[in-house]
Amino acid sequence: MHGCPLARLGTRDSGGMNVYVHRLASALGRLGRQVDIFTRVHDTEEPSIVELDENTRLIHLEAGPVDAPKADLVHYLPNFLSQLKGFQQDNGLVYDTIHSHYWLSGWVGNELATEWGVPHVATFHTLAEVKNRARVGEGRGGPRSGIERSVTAAADGIVVSTGHERAALVQLYDVPEEKVYVVPAGVDLALFKPGDQATAREQLGLNGDPLLLYVGRLEPIKGLEVLMYTLGSMEEPGNVRLLVIGGDGEHDEGHQKMMGLARELNIEDRVDFLGSLSHGLLPLYYQAADVCVVPSYYESFGLVALEAMACGTPVVGSRVPGLETIVRDNWSGYLVPWHCPDAFVDRIEVLLANEDLRHSMGEEAQVTASGMSWGRMAASVAEVYAELEEHGTQRLPSPLKG
């Protein structure tokens, strides 16, 4: 509902899930599935219907103010549902499967599946109970947890990216294990691929200084402050630079907070805040970087790490489930078990000091990523759809009404 694939990546409510939905839908289209993506209007300049790829289109629906904050979107769910049903009826459409993304859309998916009598597949990307445990006290309150529980109970299948997420659903949400399908996320291997570092730096106007890269939203769960303290704690920082891609410039609360922290740590002259950038530009930055750092407190599938690995750039990341499944510690990068700047300093300095190690880890990272295409991932998801369509569905009505 809130994650339009065309929204500018790296802003507060736009990130890996937007890429996931877009690339999965396009890959399903290439497999012969006809896919409609329904999302809220996020930009009045965007047309209501956008043809994304072969067999794949995007439909923008009006549901609440364009600039409504994500926390308020739950109030517009009935309106979004009504608009979606109106589009379906006006165009005489019949859908075989519903795949919802995130808890807000999960509510809509439950309602539609009950009315249409078709399977509902849910993907949450983040779970309230897991997020609360990753950052104690963050995101508590409100209807999210209750809606997640109703969605997990009623959905016919749940697609997750890691075994850890499946275990969390079983343990924290009482979901039967056989209802959860583990399908690792993918990466666009045609876009994210190795390139010459010197050439990439020249194109970006960068010099030969040691370069760290952070890509992601500027939210507490992403742990950028850990990286800022890391840079400030390096004993011999020399001319090490940090590029931060993400955020919405001066209007972003996270950007303002990180700028203030950079001044406090006296590293503002070594940190460049680039804001959100076109997805197509990211490969150059991954290729230009010496190390991509992912200091998150929680990752559902670690798309940034996977993109960096596909470009042959080693990753230093937190030892969290979404990264443990793709980064092989001491082989294709390093996983740090504590959100402690000193631990990150140790791993980053080892890589910056050893060019041969960076190259060997980068090569191993690229080999790992080469087997994780969106096409391969979509084929597995299509098998989930086919299985559920074949066995039919027994719908449970959602307890939440408008």
Listed by start position, the domains of the chain span 16-186+375-391, 197-372
Q: What distance, in Å, lies between the first and last C-alpha atoms of the chain?
A: 16
Residue 153 pLDDT: 96
Q: Are 65 and 44 in contact (CB under 8 A)?
A: no
Q: Is the pLDDT of residue 321 over 90?
A: no
Q: Indicate the range of 188-197, 272-281, 302-311 predicted with least confidence.
A: 272-281
Q: Is the pLDDT of residue 294 over 50?
A: yes
Q: Is the pLDDT of residue 396 over 60?
A: no
Q: Are 175 and 158 in contact (CB under 8 A)?
A: yes
Q: Looking at per-residue confidence, does 12 or 262 come out higher?
A: 262
Where does the pLDDT of residue 402 fall: very low under 50, low under 70, confident under 90, or very high at 90 and above? very low
Residue 58 pLDDT: 96
- Give the tens place of pLDDT for each residue, 50-89: 999 889 999 999 999 988 888 899 999 999 999 999 999 9
Q: What is the mean pLDDT of residues 390-402?
A: 56
Supply the pTM of this predicted model. Answer: 0.88
Residue 219 pLDDT: 87
Where does the pLDDT of residue 397 fall: very low under 50, low under 70, confident under 90, or very high at 90 and above? very low
Homologous superfamily of 16-186+375-391? Glycogen Phosphorylase B; (3.40.50.2000)
Query: Which amino acid is present at 203?
Result: Q
The second-level CATH assignment, the architecture, of 197-372 is: 3-Layer(aba) Sandwich (3.40)
Residue 134 pLDDT: 66
Q: What is the mean pLDDT of residues 125-140?
A: 71
- The answer to whether 16-186+375-391 and 197-372 have equal CATH topology is yes
- Give the tens place of pLDDT for each residue, 142-164: 899 999 999 999 999 999 999 99
Q: Is the pLDDT of residue 394 over 60?
A: no
355 Cβ contact partners less than 8 Å away, ≥ 6 residues apart? none
159 Cβ contact partners less than 8 Å away, ≥ 6 residues apart? 99, 121, 122, 123, 180, 181, 183, 381, 384
Read off the tokens for 15. 């990130």
Query: 164 to each of 149, 152, 371, how far by Cα in Å?
Result: 18, 16, 21
Q: Are 49 and 58 in contact (CB under 8 A)?
A: yes
Computed over every residue of the chain, the mean pLDDT equals 90
